[in-house]
A and B are shown apart, each in its own frame.
Chain A
Amino acid sequence: MKNLDSVFAAYLIGWGVFFVYFLTVARRTSVLRADIERLKSSLDRGK
């Protein structure tokens, strides 16, 4: 079982990168969604 730790490290880090990227996209989306709601309501108030 030589190098098993390296194989696991490669897969864990690889999947970790994809997962962290997905989380950043999800976080940015939710922040932006809140911004849109805020902007829309401030526009409605201005009308």
Chain B
Amino acid sequence: MAKQTIAAALVLLLVAAAAYAAFFVAPTERSMGLIQRIFYLHVSSAWTGLIAFFICFLSNLTYVFSRKPRWDWLGVSSAEVGVTFTTVVLITGPIWAHPVWGIWWTWDARLTSTFVLWLLYVSYLLLRTLIEEPDRRALLSALFGIFAFLDVPLVFGAIRWWRTQHPQPVIMGAQGSGLDPRMRSVLLFCWLAMMALMAFLMRERYQLEAMRGEVELIQREAEGQ
């Protein structure tokens, strides 16, 4: 419990420092002004969400081959955390877009593929609630999770392969694209804070899933008696 409190305090401190950097250290962008500061939350959450889905994909793949429950637990934990981060992306994006584009939403390749990604992982979580038998639930959701991950390269490539309303990438983009060095440092720091938050949330969620596994085991024992 003490370890958990210390971890929570450290993550909170890191997130607060990241917010301070986004508001007071990063320079104000010339054409968009103050509203561009949403970038530090929006982009760092988007990257972290994709990392969470990648962890989910690896866990699902490992589960299919090993059939060890702990990979199923990690899969569902990372999917849920990934959905949370992507929810933040889907909320902060329109708040940023409205004053800049004059619209809240448009069905361009990046926005649509991100929304589809969110729907796929929400479906993954819903699918799990529909199957009672633990081994069958784990296998079917792992297979669905592997399929859902196919959308991640589309989200990554959408602004590189197609012309979109969404801005072109400022990191790992085409030649000539880039970011002010101070903006880049603040963005990377915000990403670090989000990664720490992801690790903390995933650990909490994993413990919950492990406990659920324990309950299912006890219930099976009770039924066997």
Query: With A18-B201, A42-B222 in contact, do A25 and B208 touch (Cβ < 8 Å)?
Result: yes
Residue from B41, B42, B211, B219 within 8 A of A29 (CB atoms)? B211
Is B59 an interface residue when CB atoms closer than 8 A count as contact?
no
Is B127 an interface residue when CB atoms closer than 8 A count as contact?
no
| Interchain nearest-CB distance for A13 vs B (Å) | 5
Residue from B81, B95, B208 within 8 A of A32 (CB atoms)? B208
Interface residues on B, range: 35 or more
Taken together as a complex, chains A and B put the C-alpha atoms of A16 and B177 apart, in Å, by: 33
Residue of B nearest to A20 (CB): B84
Q: Is the CB of B204 within 8 A of A14?
A: no
Which residues of B58-113 have CB atoms within 8 Å of chain A's CB atoms? 80-81, 84, 87-88, 91-92, 95-96, 98-99
Q: Which residues of A contact B (CB under 8 A)?
A: 1-4, 6-7, 9-11, 13-15, 17-18, 21-22, 25-26, 28-29, 32-33, 35-36, 39-40, 42-43, 46
Residue of B nearest to A9 (CB): B95
Q: Is the CB of B215 within 8 A of A36?
A: yes
| Interchain nearest-CB distance for B81 vs A (Å) | 8
Q: Which residues of B contact A (CB under 8 A)?
A: 15, 19, 33-35, 37-38, 41-42, 45, 80-81, 84, 87-88, 91-92, 95-96, 98-99, 197, 201, 204-205, 207-208, 211-212, 214-215, 218-219, 221-222, 225
Secondary structure at the A interface, as helix, strand, loop or mixed, is helix
Q: Is the CB of B211 within 8 A of A6?
A: no
Q: Is the CB of B91 within 8 A of A10?
A: yes
Q: Is the CB of B197 within 8 A of A10?
A: no
Taken together as a complex, chains A and B put the C-alpha atoms of A7 and B197 apart, in Å, by: 21
| Interchain nearest-CB distance for B100 vs A (Å) | 9
Q: Is the CB of B214 within 8 A of A36?
A: yes
Q: What are 16 A-B interface contacts by the 8 Å CB criterion?
A: A1-B34, A3-B34, A6-B95, A7-B35, A10-B96, A11-B19, A18-B84, A25-B205, A32-B208, A32-B215, A36-B211, A36-B218, A39-B215, A40-B218, A43-B221, A43-B225
| Interchain nearest-CB distance for B82 vs A (Å) | 11
Residue from B35, B37, B204 within 8 A of A22 (CB atoms)? B204
